[in-house]
Structure 1
């Protein structure tokens, strides 16, 4: 089943992909020797390809005829028509149209000759087909044309090429066409078996699957199409043939209905919805906490320093990234129709989401680099350092994002389904920088702890408490920002352990922003001091202070008077 969400950030996919590269390469080498995206191309019989080409030409010709019918042309003429082998343009009544011999004709075709089709004075064509006697020696039988017309009439709006072609949907349409050609070859073009009469439910194609002639009161089965998002290919759909020899009609729609409900794994769907809901809830909570923290940082002048500036950028990257992920899970993952249509806005949302997630990890890297620089380097030009951090955190991610967008956008197989499929090599373009930044952060952490231990051994260390608090925050923060995926590099199979893993991953990943805001803002002693001071200066606080002062003075006066009376 195709996954409907990204379970975990890029760093997990980097480790997962790297560990499975050799296995995938070996399987690919055994499966095929070519380097094309699709190493195996299914071949069909010449008759199947011919009928498919005829049907496609019929569709194109009919579409042109409908467009021309909207023009209110005056005068008698023969309208555009497709006779089974060529699309004849409209001509005035009483004239004759000529065209080169079409390649769809049976037998050996003389392409240097011409075919002709006459238009009567009453505006009707001369016969059901044009005169192809000069084109081929094989006669164009009416039975072949009748078969073509019957197939076209039965298909109606279910022909695969009538699906609107969205950017990156070429692969899906190609799979539909392959499945339809299989239907032509194995069912639709086959002669009726002996003893089969009009009482059976007729063979048909519903747009997704092929259904053979079925006896009344029986049920036909077909494998679930793999090009539909959320369907399990090894399951089966079914179509009921009623006792009167007609296909079952759904009472709600009034149309012939094929039952594809079994194609969806309901347990897996509930499981996915639970995990996606956890992501949305966690990202929403983090978004609120990060926004409040950012407001606090910008509201107080005493918090305007280089260290807080880096925090502001980190929080901003979290806010934008979390907001994009919420949009992704609500607008894209929750609607399979969006994934199948693959509109341009969902592709843009995917690119923007991935870009700001890379920014998020690189700003975490900048936090570790800044702390490492303060502890290791004696004299630091913080103004210049912040400029470099801005370049690394906001500028550098543009390079892999642009490369990723261009490379994947040019591959039609990888740019379908809102780019939801992450088992493609293009994700290495983003995951490698992220994984490298996490490894550097880990190296910084090890060296920071080493330097801190050496400084704490000094008796008169001036920054002992502040350094200890900063490193303690970093020790807690780094695992929350990706290192747990290095501890658990493989996603378990679909079982109870996998559910526990995915829930853990969803909670940790989506609540990263909340943890960051608590560590760097709400639990920060410097921020708490500023907030206490600000609250003490509010009118309510001053009024409460005056009330408490009056109460204390009254109690003191009464106590003094009582003491004097007693004396």
Structure 2
């Protein structure tokens, strides 16, 4: 039987991470189900084809299963079809060494999704330009403070640390988008489905080493995001120290503030396990 997953969220929308996670869950459940069933003779074997967990097929007959609900963009009222040959093997696609399946009824009209895709692409361009302008402006500010010796003081050193944290945040966002948004988003996933639904879709085996780069990228993004707020806190603490504790050493303050700005964020984000949902490009060969 095919395991049915409910769609995510009260608003009816799901993220790319949730879509790929649903697909991976369905694959694992299918492999477990297939491994626990007795192997029957003279039938086409139950298997996972990349999208659907196909049951055993009777030779000479067409096997029909509902379009999976864990694929958000599918028409969930339709069916997918596969033919079992008389030699107890699934029909191969013409000119391909792959099993064939008909997903025609599962394809939705792409109109609304295309509009939403255009909106998110424009939004992505807008915030990328914004972070790029911020990156350039902060870099110029750091160069100015570093070049003029008259500006070298504890207050400006704290400002420089704050600027650096925002620069690193911008860099981490650029890298994060490159790793987990552009390379393996729903756009590529949908394009793959549209190009291959008339034949077959093959999902490569899951390799846990693929998660490492994604986890490191997202972890650094979360860390630099946290350092922004800690350095804003440091700015407030320094202003408080100027008003109420002016007799203490500025140099001693700077080391303590540096520890707060960079060190506390490290302790907070490395001590507990962080649930990071990474998009993996599992739909390409």
2:271 match: secondary structure: helix
Task: Describe the shift of the 1:376–1:335 C-alpha distance in structure 2 as closer, same or farther (beyond 3 A).
Answer: same
1:176 to 11, 21, 27: 27
Answer yes or no: is the 8 Å Cα contact 1:232–1:263 preserved in 2: no
Superposed displacement of residue 204, structure 1: 4.8
1:256 maps to what in 2?
A: 99
Contact 2:66 / 2:79 at 8 angstroms: preserved in 1?
A: yes
Cα contact 2:184–2:279 (8 A) shared by 1: no
Q: Which residue number corresponds to residue 198 of structure 1?
A: none
Measured after TM superposition, the shift of residue 235 of structure 1 is 5.0
Distance in 1 between the 2:270 and 2:65 partners? Answer: 46
Say how many residue pairs are matched: 233
Are the aligned partners of 2:138 and 2:163 in contact in 1 as well (CA < 8 Å)? yes
Distance in 2, Cα, partners of 1:279 & 1:179: 40
CA drift at 1:327 = 0.2
Residues 240 and 271 of structure 1: CA distance in aligned 2, closer, same or farther (over 3 Å): farther
**Equivalent residue for 2:234?**
366
CA distance in 2, matches of 1:328, 1:250: 40
Distance 1:215 1:271 in 2: 48
Q: 1:4 to 1:362 in 2, by over 3 A?
A: farther
CA distance, structure 2, for counterparts of residue 285 and residue 250 of structure 1: 52
- Following superposition, the deviation at residue 319 of structure 1 comes to 0.9
In structure 2, distance between residues paired with 1:266 and 1:380: 60
Give the structure with higher Rg (CA).
Answer: 1
Unmatched tracts of structure 2, length 5 or more: 1-7, 9-13, 190-205, 281-285
C-alpha distance 207-172 of structure 1, shift in aligned 2 (>3 A): closer
2:202 aligns to what?
A: none
Q: Check 1:362–1:273 CA distance in 2 against 1; reply closer, same or farther (3 A cut).
A: same
**Other-structure match for 2:259:** 391
Instruction: Rate the CA distance shift 1:300–1:175 in 2: closer, same or farther, 3 A.
Output: same
2:232 is aligned with 1:232: no
More moved, 269-278 vs 320-329: 269-278
- Equivalents in 2 of 1:182, 1:378: separation in Å? 70
Q: TM-score, normalised by structure 2?
A: 0.62
TM-score, normalised to structure 1, is 0.34
Partner secondary structure for residue 66 of structure 2: strand
Which residue in 2 is equivalent to 1:211? 54
Equivalent of 1:3 in 7, 15, 20: 15
Counterpart of 2:211 in structure 1 is 343
Higher relative contact order (CA closer than 8 Å, sequence separation 6+) = 2
Cα offsets for 1:275-326 (capped at 9, x unmatched)? 4333333222221221122112112222212221111000111111110111
